[in-house]
Amino acid sequence: MTRIEVNLEKKPSTSYEIYIGQNILDRMGLVITKKNWASRYIIITDSNVSPLHGDRVQAALKEMGLKVDQIDFPAGEASKNIQTIFSIIHRMIEVGADRTSALIALGGGVVGDITGFVASIYMRGIPYIQVPTTLLAQVDSSIGGKTAIDLPQGKNILGTFHQPKGVFIDLAFLKTLPPREFGNGLAEIVKCGIIDDPELLSLLEKEAEAIRNQDMILLEKIIARTCRIKKGIVEIDEMETGLRRILNFGHTIGHAIEAESGYSISHGEAVSVGMVAAANISDRLKYLPSEDRERIRSLIRMIGLTDRIPPTLSTDGVSSRIKRDKKKEGDIVRFVLLKKIGVPFVNGGVPEALVRETIEALKK
């Protein structure tokens, strides 16, 4: 089992550990018991993860004599709303949760966002633990303490920063994960390699096939490396006021493509083409050598991700969504571009015509 410590503000009270390994539920039970974070634990999970993994997680905790309850909600992004929050909170009150209780987020990013949000507001805040079950949540959303729910007006409009007490990443969960969900996580791993870790990028290139075949030993190594990158960035910029923005590499165009497709294009697919687009723009503006641009595109294909969007997707639509992006400050859309692999920077001066041309090129 790999252990990574996250140190926020260099104070022990805001530090926590990420535990990564295969079949680590027993050890998770031991750690939770030893740390003694709460008098009782409530697992929050969704209707897909509950039948697959709920019993095993409950059993591992009960084995240690811990008091455990579980609350399920319907799987899917559509659940990330205030009604779900109220219904979870009502159930918590029913089972008698108080300020000495802690939550356990068992699931993907949706479960993590919802659970973190509830934990941050229930009785002015209670502890929670992340047990991410998608590759995306394992390398991305479970680390960093961002929580959120959607409103009809937009995604992630209500949210808080609330750091978990610990993150337990068990690779065994990935065995039941649909391939498309796997790709969502892979795209963020490639992103971390591109923006911060040329060695990780070389490893991904060398082992692309083994990764596609979900070689667990290799995956553990790659997940650990990606978590280290993410935690390093979060440590420096917990509240996302500066450096943390580089994690948006591939996401400005990616989010717009995802939304314009009505979410028929997955986050991983959208971020993959978004990264190809950002690399193209970086090259066209004479920052990034074209070999590096080509290297990024070819890795994305090799690893089973995509560098294309359907020709039917409207360039006007994507372009106007980029302008509406929440990163817009004044009249400027800020893109994360590259000077070389491992050296990203934020640029506010990308001409709209170049953005449109780049989107068009993704259709060929």
Catalytic residue list contains 53:
no
Return the HEC string of 204-255. HHHCHHHHHCCCHHHHHHHHHHHHHHHHHHHHHCCCCCCHHHHHHCCHHHHH
Helical packing angle, 25-35 and 55-62, nearest 10°: 50
| Shortest distance (Å) from residue 185 CB to ligand ADP | 7
| Shortest distance (Å) from residue 141 CB to ligand ADP | 6
* Residues written for the chain: 364
**Dihedral, CA of residue 77, residue 152, residue 119 and residue 124, to nearest 10:** 180
Catalytic residue list contains 188:
yes
Catalytic residue list contains 146:
yes
Q: Which is nearer to ligand ADP, 110 or 322 (CB)?
A: 110
β-partners of residue 73 are 46
Q: Is residue 32 helix, strand or coil?
A: helix
Closest CB to ligand ADP: residue number: 108
Catalytic residue list contains 255:
yes
Q: Which is nearer to ligand ADP, 97 or 169 (CB)?
A: 169
Catalytic residue from among 181, 188, 258, 269: 188
Q: Which is nearer to ligand ADP, 38 or 257 (CB)?
A: 257
Instruction: Answer for the pair 107, 49: CB distance below 8 angstroms, yes or no.
Output: yes
| Shortest distance (Å) from residue 36 CB to ligand ADP | 28
Catalytic residue list contains 228:
no
Binding site for ligand ADP (CB under 6 A): 46, 48-49, 52, 75, 77, 107-111, 133-134, 136-137, 173, 176-177, 181, 184
| Shortest distance (Å) from residue 243 CB to ligand ADP | 23
Q: Which is nearer to ligand ADP, 271 or 275 (CB)?
A: 271
Catalytic residue from among 80, 146, 165, 245: 146
Q: Which is nearer to ligand ADP, 105 or 279 (CB)?
A: 105
Catalytic residue from among 91, 240, 328, 356: 240
Which stretches of the chain are DSSP H helices?
A: 25-35, 49, 55-62, 82-95, 109-121, 135-136, 179-196, 198-206, 208-212, 216-236, 251-260, 267-284, 290-302, 315-324, 352-361
CA distance 181 to 52: 16
Catalytic residue from among 191, 231, 251, 295: 251
* Residue with tokens 């667990």, as numbered in its chain: 216
| Shortest distance (Å) from residue 131 CB to ligand ADP | 10
Catalytic residue from among 124, 286, 329, 364: 124
Active site residues: 124, 146, 188, 230, 240, 244, 248, 251, 255, 267
